[in-house]
Structure 1
Amino acid sequence: MNITTFLAAALLLVPAAATARPVFDSHVHLWDGEKSLGEYEAQVKAAGLTVSGLGVMWFGGPNQARAGNPADISARNDALIALAAKHGGVVPIATVHPYDGPAALDELARVAGRGVRLLKIHPHTQRFDPADPRVLTLVKRAGELGVIVVMDNANIVPGGDSEKLFNLALSAPQTRFVFAHMGGPNFRFWNILKMARTAEGLLGDNIYFDISATVTLAADAPIEEEFVWTMRNVGIDHILLGSDYPQFSLEQTTEALERLDLTPEEKEKIRQGNAARLFATRP
């Protein structure tokens, strides 16, 4: 084989090698339970991807958990836990509504007792204010139980939500947070972390991000350089990959990550290493 033929063959193998690397998809919406999981798995298989784990939620759209019906929320949590028990690598992400008060705290303790390690709450679709004292009570209790709190951070609420989430994390230093979408188009706000870390005793090491959806917007865009700069300022070790399925596919997401000007080591941490470490450890 001459050198030209060898290089051509090697280049043909690059996409396959890239897709063969395992991915931990930390942000998957299963709007229709087992059926949705099957559709997700078929899509991933067709793309030639290997998934080492996925964080799943029946959360968003028609299945949103609203205040005032904690029994329905409990039933959905139980169904999600049962689904995860049937499928290796599936990490259940439960939910409550902060405004359900004591009922929300009881449900949090109940699912934590059943082994749930993640809780997602969504200010926009659940219609609550992250600055409400009931939210702080809930997330502090989550930290005491070793439960990681995932919160939407797409900045689609009036006035944005990053500032409130930042102060919430400051007020609950024993709780680990994953802020989904890393601020959306307003990701630049999170460069504040680089400065906040210089203030002694102000900020814990408790803020993580997933870059679901936002990474597909930033790749090959005029904002890409700033996006990568922000990722490094918040800390590559604190960034997770998520698809936000079914709104985006894992294939779209991984291809966008590959296009970012990051080192192979940084991409591997984001692709699966950080999520595997975070979800497997307690504070």
Structure 2
Amino acid sequence: MNTVDVIDAHCHLCTAENPYRYGCEAPVEELIEQMDLASVDVAVVLAVATQSNKKATAQYNDFIARTVEEIPDRLVGFGSVHPADGEKALEELDRVVDLGLKGIKLHPLFQHIHCDSPEMDQIAESAAELDIPLFIHSYFPYMTEEAERLYNLITAHPDTQFILAHTGGHTFLDFYAYVEMRNTGQDNVYFEVSSLSVMFRKSPYTEHIKWLIEQMGADRVIFGSNYPRYELVEALSAFDELGLSFDDSQQILGRTIGELLKL
């Protein structure tokens, strides 16, 4: 049986000049070492604009673009914008595309903005016009109203492709809402399984993930590790424990994100 290139769709690079979050150190050399150890062929490295500062955001996006250019056979890049930057964020969206980056990463918790805010609406609309996906943090523990706001954003923008980091929520009802949305004909959501598949491994939650995959189809599910929070070997081990079929595993490990990003 032929196997696909394994693509880790959720990785971060952190340096003193370009921190993903305070105290984070994750140089590209370490990521490549982890990729080799885990037999991961390609990693998607994600910028996150954690402050409303266009200069800092542009610097981080430039850093991601330069790093990808240096190792193009192993890395794919996503830029970021800060919704609070308003029109400047929309200008940076255009520049991200010019840099050759494949999409935009947003983190409502770190960026202190509600998912259904007017600023997020503008970004979602622009992403559809630019034909790039939005990769959005979607794990909101103890904040069920924010999961609902994210759902509202997605339903309001059927022409925008959304990748939901951490599986789109943390309850079965979160999953069920997206399955019902697809059953009504709206089909613009992908689910990336990083973090929660590790955090809740060997728990009833894994059955919810398997149900989501069964209902949505493996062609809507994407593998990721959330490196450096989790090592790539650990993330792959947790994914293997789901016990999916060979075909579904291959689809999730590489084909889905490869097809979406036209790699």
The answer to whether TM tops 0.5 is yes
Higher helix share: 1
User: What CA RMSD, in Å, does the superposition of the two structures yield over aligned residues?
Assistant: 2.2
In structure 2, what is the equivalent of residue 31 of structure 1? 14
1:165 maps to 150
State the match for 1:124 in structure 2: 109
Relative to structure 1, is the Cα distance of residues 261 and 50 closer, same or farther in structure 2, using a 3 angstrom cutoff?
A: closer
Residue in structure 1 matched with residue 225 of structure 2 by the alignment: 243
Change (3 A) 1:167 1:236: same
**Separation in structure 1 between the aligned mates of residue 107 and residue 142 of structure 2, nearest angstrom:** 11
CA distance in 2, matches of 1:250, 1:187: 26
AA partner of residue 76 (structure 1): Y
Structure 1 position 188, deviation (Å): 4.0
CA distance in 2, matches of 1:140, 1:260: 35
Q: 1:120-147: per-residue Cα shift (whole Å, max 9, x none)?
A: 0100011111111111111110111011
SS in 2 for 1:94: strand
Which one of the candidate residues 53, 67, 81 is aligned to 2:65?
A: 81
**One-letter amino acid matched to 2:43:** L
Say which SS state the counterpart of residue 83 (structure 1) adopts: helix
Distance 1:195 1:204, change over 3 A: closer
Please give the TM-score of this superposition, normalised by the length of structure 1. 0.83
Alignment partner, residue 45 of structure 2 = 56
| SS of residue paired to 1:208 | strand
Q: 1:90 aligns with which of 52, 55, 75?
A: 75
Q: For the structure 1 residues 134 and 58, does the alpha-carbon distance in structure 2 shift closer, same or farther, using more than 3 Å as the test?
A: closer
**1:220 pairs with 175, 183, 202, which one?**
202
Report the 3-state secondary structure (helix = DSSP H, G, I; strand = E; otherwise coil) of the residue aligned with 2:183: coil
Tell me the distance in 2 between the aligned counterparts of 1:197 and 1:184. Answer: 16
Q: For residues 107 and 216 of structure 1, what CA distance do their matches in structure 2 show?
A: 34
Counterpart of 1:210 in structure 2 is: 192
Instruction: Please list, as runs of the form range in 1=range in 2, the aligned pairs for 1:85-234 lying within 5 A after superposition.
Output: 85-88=69-72, 89-156=74-141, 158-199=143-184, 203-234=185-216
Displacement after TM superposition at 1:28 (Å): 0.4
Q: Is the 8 A contact 1:124 1:157 kept in 2?
A: no
Report if the CA contact (8 A) 1:191-1:233 is conserved. no
Measured in 1, the distance between the counterparts of 2:93 and 2:172 equals 30
Distance 2:61 2:89 in 1: 12
Question: Which whole-Å CA distance do the structure 2 matches of 1:228 and 1:236 have between them?
Answer: 10
Is the alpha carbon distance of 1:168 and 1:190 closer, same or farther for their aligned partners in structure 2, counting shifts above 3 Å? same
1:262 aligns with 2:262: no
Amino acid at match of 2:67: L
SS in 2 for 1:93: strand
1:58–1:120 distance in 2 versus 1, CA, 3 Å = closer
| Residue in 1 that maps onto 2:56 | 72
Q: How many residues align?
A: 253
Per the alignment, residue 13 of structure 1 pairs with: none
Look at both structures and tell me which one has the larger radius of gyration over its CA atoms: 1
The alpha-carbon distance between structure 1 residues 226 and 159, as it changes in their structure 2 partners (threshold 3 A), is: closer
Provide closer, same or farther for how the CA distance between residues 114 and 125 of structure 1 changes in structure 2, counting only shifts above 3 A: same
- Is 1:40 aligned to residue 31 of structure 2? yes
